[in-house]
Chain A
Amino acid sequence: MGVVAAGQPAPEFTLRRQSGDAFTRADLDGETTLLVFYPFAFSPVCTDQLSLYQEMLEDFSARGVTLYGVSCDATYSQEAFRRELGVTIEQLSDFEPKGAACRAFGVLHPGGFPQRALVLVGPDGVVRWSYEAPSPGDLPGANLIFDALDG
């Protein structure tokens, strides 16, 4: 099973925000949301995907899109990673039960971490576009997201 396809409703899920509060399907209502699933905080790539998307944040905002990073790392690790990258994109943790939200979105790798994947959910809670990278080292360019947004 691959990443949840366009036209499907977003699944029920619970992630943990940096504040410790829950982030659920209800938080997607009325918003255009891009969930950026990445394998691990601090994985060894030089310029991270999130750094690139951070550069384009104004362009995402202009299109009414809010971005979140999602991984199975603990909140504290994600926060340290966010600071290390110097990005403001909020991180959501799928730590416990580990990988449950990633599994619901169809992006849980058998190794227990998210595939590198993107899920764009419209204000109606329906998946507008999704993408799974061919390999974890293959960083999806922002152009692919703008193709979905502007197309």
Chain B
Amino acid sequence: MAESLGSAPLPPVGPGDHVRGPEDARLVVVYGDYECPYCAALDLELARVPLRVAFRQFPVTSAHPRAQAAACAAEAAAAQGAFWAMHDSLFADQGRLEDPHLWARAESLGLDVARFDADRRSSAVAEAVRAQFRSGVRAGVATTPTMFVDGERHGRPDENLWARLLGA
């Protein structure tokens, strides 16, 4: 029997997740793709508000040929404690996602570049990205970015959702 891909609840945020923001702030889960401009825009918006954000990988490779490599780069940076630094670096400059750009980013973040390069090509990292993607598919993610608030699925927030999120 093939692995089930039918609907399933959003997996709760756990130790395997990348989370940032104030401990006591409201938690949202974002599924995104580093080559998607709307994801970069949402990421900027989220950086300006007091929310706790968990980011999960949802690379759509047919639309975005370097999305998978970028997702693996972020996961590889995580192994050196630099997930969010790489995440921010990728979203800040989506036009440079080829291998030499990824190496240059790792170097400028002070990472061990050889280790970074081995990790980003490793099956463990590929599996982590795949598991995140599939958890999103099962929770109904069909487009990026998708943001879950209290288990409810949303695209980019509109005014009403921002007001709700920020308790206005």
Contacts and interface: CB of A to CB of B under 8 A. Distances in A.
B62 A59 contact: no
A143 B6 contact: yes
A72 B62 CA distance: 23
Most buried by A among B7, B33, B37: B7
Interface residues of B, number: 24
B125 to A, nearest CB: 17
A55 B142 contact: no
A47 B144 contact: yes
Given A45-B143, A46-B144, A52-B142, A143 B63 contact: no
B2 A48 contact: no
A47 B63 contact: yes
A46 B137 contact: no
A146 B65 CA distance: 25
Contacts of A50: 62
A59 B5 CA distance: 9
Contacts of B141: 141
A47 B137 contact: no
Secondary structure class of chain A's binding surface, majority of residues: helix
Contact of B37 (A46, A52, A59): A46
Interface in A66-86: 85-86
Contacts of A139: 142-143
B5 A55 contact: no
Contacts of B133: 55
B113 interface: no
Contacts of B142: 47, 49, 52, 139-142
A1 interface: no
B80 interface: no
Secondary structure class of chain B's binding surface, majority of residues: loop
Contacts of B7: 141, 143-144, 146-147
A63 B62 contact: no
A56 B137 contact: yes
Contacts of B138: 143, 146
B122 interface: no
B62 A85 contact: yes
Contacts of B38: 46
B62 A55 contact: yes
B165 interface: no
Contacts of B37: 46
A58 B63 CA distance: 17
B60 A51 contact: yes
Most buried by A among B2, B7, B142, B143: B142
Interface of B: 2, 4-8, 33, 36-38, 60-63, 65, 133, 137-144
Given A56-B5, A141-B141, A142-B137, 5 more contacts: A46-B63, A51-B62, A52-B60, A140-B142, A146-B138
12 contacts: A46-B143, A46-B144, A47-B60, A51-B63, A52-B143, A59-B5, A86-B65, A143-B138, A144-B7, A147-B7, A150-B2, A150-B4
